[in-house]
């Protein structure tokens, strides 16, 4: 797994590799959705009947660590902010479906990176598991020198519907932390996004 750590605000200006990663990830995810959700076709940001849609990655598809989110009951995430309350190795984000950290049915996610939107970074390492694929640990202590650091993957990852996703971290201090998944999301049933309230669990 290859990646770069940089400042979130400078990703687009100084890292053209991010655009290449996003372009390749978008094409791969769109092709997978077209195959898996046939005969639906791609409808972009404004899909119509018979099409699947695209959005940014929505936090409502995920749960935080142990359901202690200050902003929502049961751990569902209406925003990327959560409350880290237990020190040490923790699962700090999982898919929101069921008890197994599963990405909900009818949603597929293209993951290009992870951004930390606070000046105070309360973790020192992260690692991910996508389905049965375990990715190596990433030490982010060097990220402490950046303002709002981001980890950008050289090759993006697809979080498929009804498969597991877990983001683990070593938590060093308690308190609020905004950890944002960078990339895009495609939705088989766009009406679920159009008729629900902002921040609602999907």
Q: What is the pLDDT of residue 195?
A: 55
Q: What is the pLDDT of residue 14?
A: 60
Q: What is the pLDDT of residue 152?
A: 87
Structure tokens at 24: 């390749």
What are 108-165's pLDDT values in tens digits? 999 999 999 988 899 999 999 999 999 999 998 887 777 888 888 888 999 999 999 9
Radius of gyration of the chain (CA): 16
Structure tokens at 98: 């069921």
Contact 3, 126 (CB under 8 A): no
Nearest to 3 by CA among 185, 182, 196, 200: 182
Helix/strand number for the chain, H first, E second: 3, 13
DSSP strands (E only) in the chain:
3-7, 41-42, 51-55, 62-64, 81-84, 88-95, 107-116, 123-130, 133-134, 138-139, 149-159, 165-171, 175-187
State how far the Cα of 27 lies from the Cα of 21, in Å rounded to an integer: 10
Burial class for 191, CB neighbours closer than 10 Å (0-12, 13-18, 19+): exposed
Q: What is the pLDDT of residue 154?
A: 86
State how far the Cα of 8 lies from the Cα of 18, in Å rounded to an integer: 11
Q: What is the pLDDT of residue 120?
A: 86
Nearest to 169 by CA among 157, 151, 184: 151
* Alpha carbon separation from 107 to 8, 60, 74, 101 (Å, rounded): 25, 11, 20, 14
Q: What is the pLDDT of residue 128?
A: 95
Task: Count CB atoms within 10 A of the CB of residue 30.
Answer: 19
Structure tokens at 42: 């791609």
Q: What is the pLDDT of residue 15?
A: 64
Question: pLDDT tens digits, the chain, 202 residues: what are they?
Answer: 688 777 777 776 666 667 888 899 999 999 999 999 999 999 998 898 899 999 999 998 998 875 544 444 556 788 899 889 889 999 999 998 876 789 999 999 999 999 999 888 999 999 999 999 999 999 988 877 778 888 888 889 999 999 999 999 999 999 999 999 999 999 998 776 765 666 666 6
Burial class for 62, CB neighbours closer than 10 Å (0-12, 13-18, 19+): buried
Structure tokens at 143: 């990220």
């Amino acid at each position: 797994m290859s990646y770069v750590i940089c400042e979130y605000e400078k990703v687009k200006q100084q890292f053209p590799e991010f655009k290449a990663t996003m372009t390749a990830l978008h094409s791969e995810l769109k092709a997978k959705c077209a195959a898996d959700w046939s005969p639906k076709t791609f409808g972009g940001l404004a899909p119509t009947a018979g099409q699947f849609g695209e959005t940014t990655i929505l936090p409502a598809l995920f749960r935080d660590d142990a359901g202690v989110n200050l902003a929502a009951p049961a751990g569902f995430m209406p925003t990327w902010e959560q409350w880290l309350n237990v020190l040490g190795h923790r699962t700090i984000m999982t898919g929101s479906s069921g008890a197994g950290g599963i990405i909900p049915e009818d949603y597929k996610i293209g993951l290009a990176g992870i951004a930390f939107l606070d000046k105070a970074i309360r973790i020192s390492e992260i690692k991910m598991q996508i389905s049965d694929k375990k990715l190596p640990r990433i030490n982010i202590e060097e990220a402490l020198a950046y303002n709002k650091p981001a980890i950008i993957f050289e090759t993006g990852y697809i979080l498929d519907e009804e498969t597991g996703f877990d983001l683990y971290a070593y938590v060093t201090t308690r308190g609020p932390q905004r950890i944002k998944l960078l990339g895009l999301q495609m939705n088989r049933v766009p009406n679920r996004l159009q008729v629900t309230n902002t921040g609602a669990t999907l």
